C-alpha cells in the first residue's frame, strides 16, 4: 500500500507523537461517520439534532435520535485501529491521542492519555441545575419520557457531555490538545475530514511547526498537501500494519 513504509518509518522515529482521530477510526466498529455518502448528516439535520440553540428549544428531537442510536454505541467495540494506537502509545511512539469522537472506544482499547475534544457520551448533565448521571440510566426513561427530565430539578435540558454546534469545547481539553501539538515530533491524523474547527487547528498547529504529518484516511482531506505521507484506505487495516512495521 502506497506510503505505508514511509509512514511506519516516521512513526518508528517518533518519541512524542500525537494521534488525532475522527469518526473514520470508529467506522469499522460499526459507528457511522458524519459526512460521506452514508454519513449521519445525510439522515439527520445537524441543526435540529446537534445545535445547542435548537436543543434548548426542543430537546425531544435530539433525544429521539439519541434513543435509537444508543444500542449501536453501547455494543460498539474497539477495532484493530484503536488497539494499534494504544500499542503505539505503550511502545513510546505516541504521547497520546486527541480525538473528536465521543464513543469511548479509545478508552476501551487501552489508550492511556486521551483528550476528548468534543466531550463524551458517557455522562448526561443538566444545563439548568448542573446535576449529572450516566447516559445508560437515561436510556431506561426514554421509552416513557421524551424529552427526559432531570432527576434533580425536573428540568428538560439534560444533555450528554458532548459538544454541540454552538457550544465551546472544554477549555482544559483544548489546552491539553494544543500543548501536545506544540510538543509533538509526529502528528498522525486518522479518519477525519478535518473540516470542523477549532478541532482541526490541532493538526494544523503541528504541521505549521514543521512536525511531520501522516494522514490515514479513506478519502482526500484539506491537509493532504501538507502531509509528509498520506496512506489512503481503512484505518482498521492500515494502523496495525504501521504498528508492525514500526517494530511494535
Ligand atoms: N478508515 C479511514 N478513514 C475513514 C474510514 C475508515 N474506515 N471511514 C471513513 N473514513 C474517513 C472519511 O472519508 C472522512 O474523511 O473519515 C472521515 C470522517 O469524517 P467526518 O464524518 O466528517 O467525521 P469527523 O472528521 O470526525 O467530524 C468532525 O464534526 O459533526 C461534527 O462533532 C462532530 O466530531 C465530529 C466533527
Ligand atoms: Zn436539573
pLDDT above 70: residue 176: yes
**What residue owns the CA closest to ligand 1's atom 23?**
23
Give the Å distance between the CA of 100 and the centre of ligand 2.
27
pLDDT given at position 36: 83
Measuring CA to CA, how many Å separate 86 from each of 82, 146, 154?
Answer: 6, 38, 41
Average pLDDT over every residue of 136-149: 95
pLDDT above 90: residue 1: no
Q: What is the mean pLDDT of the chain?
A: 96
Q: Give the nearest ligand 1 atom to 194 CA.
A: 25
pLDDT above 90: residue 60: yes
Tell me which residue of 18, 187, 34, 186 sits closest to 103, measured CA to CA. Answer: 34
**Chain segment 98-123, per-residue pLDDT in tens:** 999 999 999 999 999 999 999 999 99
pLDDT above 70: residue 138: yes
Tell me the residues surrounding ligand 2 (ion) with CB < 5 Å: 126, 128-129, 131, 150, 152-153, 155
pLDDT above 80: residue 62: yes
pLDDT above 90: residue 141: yes
All domains of the chain in start order, with CATH: 1-31+78-118+168-248 (3.40.50.1220), 34-75+119-162 (3.30.1600.10)
Average pLDDT over every residue of 49-65: 96
**What residue owns the CA closest to ligand 1's atom 15?**
193
Tell me which residue of 154, 153, 198, 148 sits closest to 178, measured CA to CA. Answer: 198
pLDDT given at position 182: 98
Active site residue 157: no
Q: Which ligand lies nearest to the CA atom of residue 157 in the structure?
A: 2
- CA–CA gap between residue 181 and residue 201 (Å, rounded): 9
Q: Which band of pLDDT confidence, cut at 50, 70 and 90, is reported for residue 135?
A: very high
pLDDT above 70: residue 248: no
Give the Å distance between the CA of 129 and the centre of ligand 2.
4
Tell me which residue of 221, 243, 226 sits closest to 187, measured CA to CA. Answer: 226
Give the Å distance between the CA of 135 and the centre of ligand 2.
14
pLDDT given at position 2: 84
Average pLDDT over every residue of 215-243: 98
In terms of C-beta density within 10 A (0-12 exposed, 13-18 middle, 19 or more buried), how is residue 17 classed?
buried
In terms of C-beta density within 10 A (0-12 exposed, 13-18 middle, 19 or more buried), how is residue 125 classed?
middle
Q: Give the nearest ligand 1 atom to 28 CA.
A: 7
**Three-state SS for 77?**
coil
In terms of C-beta density within 10 A (0-12 exposed, 13-18 middle, 19 or more buried), how is residue 23 classed?
buried
pLDDT above 70: residue 238: yes
Amino acid at each position: 500500500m502506497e506510503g505505508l513504509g514511509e509512514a511506519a518509518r516516521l512513526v518508528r522515529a517518533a518519541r512524542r507523537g500525537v494521534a488525532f482521530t475522527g469518526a473514520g477510526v470508529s467506522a469499522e466498529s460499526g459507528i457511522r461517520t458524519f459526512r460521506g455518502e452514508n454519513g449521519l448528516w445525510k439522515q439527520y439535520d445537524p441543526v435540529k439534532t446537534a445545535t445547542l440553540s435548537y436543543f434548548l428549544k426542543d430537546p425531544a428531537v435530539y433525544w429521539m435520535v439519541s434513543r435509537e442510536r444508543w444500542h449501536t454505541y453501547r455494543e460498539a467495540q474497539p477495532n484493530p485501529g484503536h488497539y494499534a494506537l494504544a500499542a503505539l502509545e505503550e511502545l513510546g511512539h505516541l504521547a497520546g491521542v486527541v480525538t473528536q469522537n465521543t464513543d469511548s472506544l479509545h478508552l476501551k482499547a487501552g489508550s492511556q492519555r486521551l483528550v476528548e475534544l468534543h466531550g463524551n457520551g458517557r455522562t448526561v448533565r443538566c444545563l439548568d441545575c448542573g446535576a449529572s448521571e450516566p447516559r445508560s440510566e437515561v436510556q431506561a426513561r426514554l421509552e416513557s419520557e421524551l424529552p427526559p427530565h432531570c432527576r434533580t430539578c425536573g428540568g428538560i435540558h439534560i444533555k450528554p457531555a458532548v459538544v454541540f454546534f454552538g457550544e465551546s469545547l472544554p477549555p482544559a481539553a483544548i489546552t491539553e490538545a494544543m500543548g501536545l501539538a506544540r510538543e509533538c515530533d509526529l502528528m498522525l491524523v486518522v479518519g477525519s475530514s478535518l473540516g470542523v474547527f477549532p478541532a482541526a487547528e490541532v493538526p494544523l498547529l503541528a504541521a505549521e511547526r514543521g512536525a511531520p504529518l501522516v494522514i490515514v484516511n479513506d478519502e482526500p482531506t484539506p491537509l493532504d498537501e501538507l502531509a509528509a505521507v498520506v496512506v489512503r484506505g481503512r484505518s482498521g487495516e492500515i494502523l496495525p500494519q504501521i504498528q508492525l512495521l514500526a517494530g511494535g
